[in-house]
Amino acid sequence: MNRLKNILLGTDFSTGSAAARQQAVRLARWNGAGLQAVHVVDVLAVRQYAEQLERPLMLVEKEIIEQTGRRLREWLAQSGSVVEGAAIIGMPLDGLLNAARENEASLLVLGVRGETSAHADAGNLALKCLRKAQTKVMLVHEQHVGPFKQVVACVDFSDTARVAVQQARHVAEQDGSQIHFIHVYSQPWQTLQQATPQDGGNVAGKYRTVLENRLREFVGDTTGLKATFQVIEADRSAPGIADYARRHAADLLVLGSKGLSNLKYLLLGSTVERLLREVPCSVLVVRPPGGDGAKL
């Protein structure tokens, strides 16, 4: 796979955005990638402001772009790197997605929580970008401005999980991280609402051993990595992942936007939302193969 070529940083000048800025700079340096930043000024707020001032909309827009552009340049200079930036007026989600397409971004980097987010929740805009963006998305927790020490890769044996494994490995190689490959499962006879087999304990043990072996085979050679493998039984994926991430003080979770659960594919948007609310952690969400496969 090729390395990242272009990274887009979305910012609202919040503490979360400052952490995202630092991670975006680090990723750009790893890859020799281009890094652009964008701040989208909400067009509805601009119109209301112009109406209140009873001033021409075009004049107000020009002034806001100039003022926000200066603020953005000063804010980006704090990273210690030369980063190109642009202030635009539009609907925030559309503006970010359009900028990602126009810049042919391999990765969109945002803070988990924006300046208007509740303290304990992920920002609505960040979650919408997870669902809508056609590229990889990294949501950075405000505390994570340096190397990721504990990386957790979520594996469900799908094609997208292979991409997640590759991305997690690359981050761990760059940061010298401890990397945890985990698979969360529920016993199939429970999922199918079947009675537990008479020798349920023996069957459950064999089933777990099969999954453990399959996980190691799926991940492949981990020579040179500080890797651990863990198979976790839980009724649902999100609580199982969240509990593991909390117990091991995870810095970064890596998972796919679409996963394989039993016999059908399920979008993991709701799973990611729950994880972001339950675990003080950054998240990297990757897309299925066939799109931009550039590694971090």
One pLDDT digit (tens) per residue for the chain, 296 residues: 346 889 999 999 998 899 999 999 999 998 899 999 999 999 999 999 999 999 999 999 999 999 999 999 999 999 888 889 999 999 999 999 999 999 999 999 999 876 554 434 446 788 888 888 889 999 999 888 889 999 999 999 988 899 999 999 999 999 999 999 999 988 765 555 555 555 555 777 888 899 999 999 999 999 999 999 999 998 888 888 989 999 999 999 998 876 544 323 344 556 666 777 777 789 998 888 765 555 66
Per-residue pLDDT at 31: 87
Tell me the C-alpha distance between 283 and 266, whole Å. Answer: 18
Residue pair 85/38 in contact by the 8 Å Cβ criterion? yes
Tens digits of per-residue pLDDT, 25-62?
A: 999 998 899 999 999 999 999 999 999 999 999 999 99
pLDDT digits (tens, 9 = 90+) for 77-123: 998 888 899 999 999 999 999 999 999 999 999 998 765 544 344 46
- Residue 119 confidence (pLDDT): 39
pLDDT value, residue 48: 95
Residue 214's pLDDT is 96
Domain ranges of the chain: 1-141, 147-296
Residues 6+ apart with CB under 8 A from 123: 16, 110, 111, 112, 113, 114, 116, 117
* Architecture in CATH of 147-296: 3-Layer(aba) Sandwich (3.40)
1-141 homologous superfamily:
HUPs (3.40.50.620)
Torsion of the alpha carbons at 195, 199, 205 and 207, rounded to the nearest 10: -50
Task: For residues 87 and 227, give the distance between their C-alpha atoms in angstroms, rounded to a whole number.
Answer: 42
In the structure encoding, which two tokens stand for residue 118, read together?
């509740």
The 10 Å Cβ neighbour count of residue 57 is 13
Contacts of 263 (CB under 8 A, 6+ apart): none
What is the 8-class DSSP label of residue 194? P
Q: What is the rounded distance in angstroms from the CA atom of residue 154 to the CA atom of residue 74? A: 38
The burial of 51, by beta-carbon neighbours within 10 Å (0-12 exposed, 13-18 middle, 19 or more buried), is given as exposed
